[in-house]
Structure 1
Protein backbone atom coordinates (compact mmCIF):
# COMPACT_ATOMS: atom_id res chain seq x y z
CA UNK A 1 0.00 0.00 0.00
CA UNK A 2 1.41 3.40 -0.94
CA UNK A 3 1.33 6.38 1.38
CA UNK A 4 -1.29 8.11 -0.78
CA UNK A 5 -3.46 4.99 -0.55
CA UNK A 6 -3.01 4.95 3.22
CA UNK A 7 -3.91 8.63 3.44
CA UNK A 8 -6.98 8.01 1.25
CA UNK A 9 -8.11 5.17 3.52
CA UNK A 10 -7.39 7.29 6.58
CA UNK A 11 -9.41 10.22 5.24
CA UNK A 12 -12.36 7.96 4.46
CA UNK A 13 -12.09 6.29 7.87
CA UNK A 14 -12.21 9.72 9.53
CA UNK A 15 -15.27 10.66 7.45
CA UNK A 16 -17.00 7.41 8.44
CA UNK A 17 -16.04 7.99 12.09
CA UNK A 18 -17.80 11.35 11.99
CA UNK A 19 -20.88 9.86 10.33
CA UNK A 20 -20.95 6.98 12.80
CA UNK A 21 -20.81 9.41 15.75
CA UNK A 22 -23.84 11.22 14.34
CA UNK A 23 -25.90 8.04 14.06
CA UNK A 24 -24.71 6.87 17.50
CA UNK A 25 -25.95 10.16 18.98
CA UNK A 26 -29.38 9.71 17.37
CA UNK A 27 -29.56 6.10 18.59
CA UNK A 28 -28.65 7.20 22.12
CA UNK A 29 -31.30 9.92 21.99
CA UNK A 30 -33.91 7.40 20.87
CA UNK A 31 -32.90 5.03 23.67
CA UNK A 32 -33.27 7.74 26.35
CA UNK A 33 -36.41 9.78 25.72
CA UNK A 34 -35.56 12.35 28.39
CA UNK A 35 -32.13 13.06 26.95
CA UNK A 36 -33.42 14.90 23.86
CA UNK A 37 -34.21 17.99 25.92
CA UNK A 38 -30.56 18.22 27.00
CA UNK A 39 -29.02 17.43 23.62
CA UNK A 40 -28.18 20.35 21.34
CA UNK A 41 -29.34 20.02 17.74
CA UNK A 42 -26.86 18.11 15.61
CA UNK A 43 -25.05 19.83 12.81
CA UNK A 44 -25.74 18.30 9.44
CA UNK A 45 -23.10 15.89 8.22
CA UNK A 46 -21.68 16.92 4.90
CA UNK A 47 -20.00 14.25 2.79
CA UNK A 48 -16.39 15.04 1.98
CA UNK A 49 -16.00 16.27 -1.57
CA UNK A 50 -12.27 15.80 -2.01
CA UNK A 51 -11.89 12.09 -1.17
CA UNK A 52 -13.01 10.39 -4.34
CA UNK A 53 -14.58 6.93 -4.30
CA UNK A 54 -14.97 4.93 -1.10
CA UNK A 55 -12.24 2.28 -0.69
CA UNK A 56 -13.63 -1.24 -1.13
CA UNK A 57 -12.36 -2.41 2.25
CA UNK A 58 -14.46 0.32 3.95
CA UNK A 59 -17.68 -0.59 2.10
CA UNK A 60 -18.90 -3.08 4.77
CA UNK A 61 -18.51 -0.41 7.45
CA UNK A 62 -20.27 2.21 5.32
CA UNK A 63 -23.11 -0.27 4.63
CA UNK A 64 -23.48 -0.98 8.36
CA UNK A 65 -23.64 2.75 9.13
CA UNK A 66 -26.26 3.20 6.40
CA UNK A 67 -28.32 0.35 7.88
CA UNK A 68 -28.17 1.98 11.31
CA UNK A 69 -29.17 5.36 9.84
CA UNK A 70 -32.16 3.87 8.06
CA UNK A 71 -33.24 2.03 11.22
CA UNK A 72 -32.94 5.24 13.28
CA UNK A 73 -34.91 7.18 10.63
CA UNK A 74 -37.68 4.57 10.73
CA UNK A 75 -37.84 4.81 14.52
CA UNK A 76 -38.02 8.60 14.36
CA UNK A 77 -40.85 8.38 11.80
CA UNK A 78 -42.68 5.83 13.99
CA UNK A 79 -42.38 8.08 17.03
CA UNK A 80 -43.53 11.14 15.08
CA UNK A 81 -46.59 9.21 13.94
CA UNK A 82 -47.30 8.08 17.50
CA UNK A 83 -46.97 11.68 18.71
CA UNK A 84 -49.42 12.90 16.06
CA UNK A 85 -51.90 10.20 17.05
CA UNK A 86 -51.53 11.12 20.72
CA UNK A 87 -52.06 14.80 19.95
CA UNK A 88 -55.17 13.95 17.91
CA UNK A 89 -56.58 11.97 20.83
CA UNK A 90 -55.75 14.60 23.44
CA UNK A 91 -57.38 17.36 21.39
CA UNK A 92 -60.62 15.37 21.49
CA UNK A 93 -60.55 14.96 25.27
CA UNK A 94 -63.01 17.28 26.87
CA UNK A 95 -61.41 19.16 29.73
CA UNK A 96 -64.49 21.04 30.79
CA UNK A 97 -62.80 24.38 30.37
CA UNK A 98 -64.43 25.32 27.07
CA UNK A 99 -67.94 24.18 27.99
CA UNK A 100 -69.33 24.92 31.43
CA UNK A 101 -71.82 22.25 32.44
CA UNK A 102 -73.79 22.05 35.65
CA UNK A 103 -72.25 19.87 38.31
CA UNK A 104 -75.63 18.83 39.74
CA UNK A 105 -79.31 19.06 38.92
CA UNK A 106 -81.60 20.74 41.44
CA UNK A 107 -84.72 18.56 41.47
CA UNK A 108 -86.44 20.59 44.20
CA UNK A 109 -88.06 22.87 41.69
Structure 2
Protein backbone atom coordinates (compact mmCIF):
# COMPACT_ATOMS: atom_id res chain seq x y z
CA UNK A 1 0.00 0.00 0.00
CA UNK A 2 1.28 3.46 -0.88
CA UNK A 3 1.04 5.37 2.40
CA UNK A 4 2.10 8.73 0.95
CA UNK A 5 -1.38 10.24 1.06
CA UNK A 6 -2.11 8.80 4.50
CA UNK A 7 1.10 10.30 5.84
CA UNK A 8 0.21 13.80 4.67
CA UNK A 9 -2.72 13.79 7.07
CA UNK A 10 -0.74 12.68 10.10
CA UNK A 11 2.76 14.06 9.59
CA UNK A 12 2.13 16.93 12.02
CA UNK A 13 1.12 14.46 14.73
CA UNK A 14 4.07 12.17 13.97
CA UNK A 15 6.57 15.04 14.18
CA UNK A 16 5.01 16.35 17.40
CA UNK A 17 5.14 12.85 18.90
CA UNK A 18 8.83 12.44 18.04
CA UNK A 19 9.75 15.86 19.41
CA UNK A 20 7.63 15.25 22.54
CA UNK A 21 9.88 12.26 23.29
CA UNK A 22 13.07 14.29 22.93
CA UNK A 23 14.13 17.58 21.34
CA UNK A 24 15.94 17.15 18.05
CA UNK A 25 17.35 18.89 15.00
CA UNK A 26 15.85 18.47 11.53
CA UNK A 27 17.72 15.45 10.23
CA UNK A 28 17.62 13.77 13.64
CA UNK A 29 13.82 14.04 13.56
CA UNK A 30 13.74 12.61 10.01
CA UNK A 31 15.96 9.71 11.14
CA UNK A 32 13.79 8.99 14.20
CA UNK A 33 10.62 9.04 12.09
CA UNK A 34 12.18 6.58 9.64
CA UNK A 35 13.37 4.35 12.49
CA UNK A 36 9.73 4.23 13.63
CA UNK A 37 8.61 3.16 10.15
CA UNK A 38 7.40 6.56 8.95
CA UNK A 39 8.98 7.11 5.53
CA UNK A 40 8.72 10.78 4.71
CA UNK A 41 10.85 12.99 2.54
CA UNK A 42 13.21 15.38 4.25
CA UNK A 43 11.57 18.38 2.57
CA UNK A 44 8.16 17.38 3.96
CA UNK A 45 9.53 17.06 7.48
CA UNK A 46 11.43 20.35 7.32
CA UNK A 47 8.30 22.08 6.00
CA UNK A 48 6.27 20.55 8.83
CA UNK A 49 8.82 21.72 11.39
CA UNK A 50 8.64 25.28 10.03
CA UNK A 51 4.83 25.24 10.03
CA UNK A 52 4.62 23.83 13.58
CA UNK A 53 7.14 26.41 14.76
CA UNK A 54 5.17 29.23 13.09
CA UNK A 55 1.90 28.16 14.74
CA UNK A 56 3.48 27.98 18.19
CA UNK A 57 3.56 24.19 18.59
CA UNK A 58 7.35 24.06 18.58
CA UNK A 59 10.13 26.20 19.96
CA UNK A 60 13.66 26.26 18.59
CA UNK A 61 17.17 26.93 19.79
CA UNK A 62 20.62 26.69 18.26
CA UNK A 63 23.30 24.33 19.56
CA UNK A 64 26.90 24.87 18.45
CA UNK A 65 28.59 21.91 16.80
CA UNK A 66 32.29 21.18 16.90
CA UNK A 67 32.12 19.12 13.71
CA UNK A 68 30.11 21.27 11.32
CA UNK A 69 27.49 23.97 11.27
CA UNK A 70 25.38 24.83 14.29
CA UNK A 71 22.18 22.81 14.60
CA UNK A 72 18.71 24.20 15.09
CA UNK A 73 16.92 22.05 17.65
CA UNK A 74 13.17 21.89 18.09
CA UNK A 75 11.26 21.30 21.31
CA UNK A 76 7.54 21.00 21.93
CA UNK A 77 5.61 23.83 23.61
CA UNK A 78 2.54 23.52 25.86
CA UNK A 79 0.46 24.50 22.81
CA UNK A 80 2.13 21.66 20.87
CA UNK A 81 1.44 19.15 23.66
CA UNK A 82 -2.24 20.12 23.62
CA UNK A 83 -2.34 19.86 19.81
CA UNK A 84 -0.71 16.40 20.01
CA UNK A 85 -3.23 15.29 22.63
CA UNK A 86 -6.11 16.33 20.35
CA UNK A 87 -4.52 14.74 17.28
CA UNK A 88 -3.96 11.46 19.14
CA UNK A 89 -7.65 11.37 20.11
CA UNK A 90 -8.78 12.21 16.57
CA UNK A 91 -6.43 9.60 15.09
CA UNK A 92 -7.71 6.90 17.45
CA UNK A 93 -11.33 7.69 16.57
CA UNK A 94 -10.51 7.61 12.86
CA UNK A 95 -8.49 4.37 13.16
CA UNK A 96 -11.33 2.73 15.10
CA UNK A 97 -13.83 3.76 12.42
CA UNK A 98 -11.70 2.43 9.57
CA UNK A 99 -10.93 -0.77 11.49
CA UNK A 100 -14.67 -1.28 11.89
CA UNK A 101 -15.23 -0.75 8.18
CA UNK A 102 -12.47 -3.17 7.23
CA UNK A 103 -13.16 -5.73 9.92
CA UNK A 104 -14.67 -9.17 9.56
CA UNK A 105 -17.99 -8.15 11.02
CA UNK A 106 -18.65 -5.83 8.10
CA UNK A 107 -17.98 -8.24 5.24
CA UNK A 108 -20.79 -8.29 2.74
CA UNK A 109 -22.24 -11.74 2.13
CA UNK A 110 -21.52 -12.98 -1.38
Question: TM-score if structure 2 supplies the norm length?
Answer: 0.34
Q: Higher strand proportion, which one? A: 2
Pair member with larger Rg:
1
Q: Compare relative contact order (CA 8 Å, sep 6+) and give the higher one, 1 or 2.
A: 1
Question: TM-score if structure 1 supplies the norm length?
Answer: 0.34
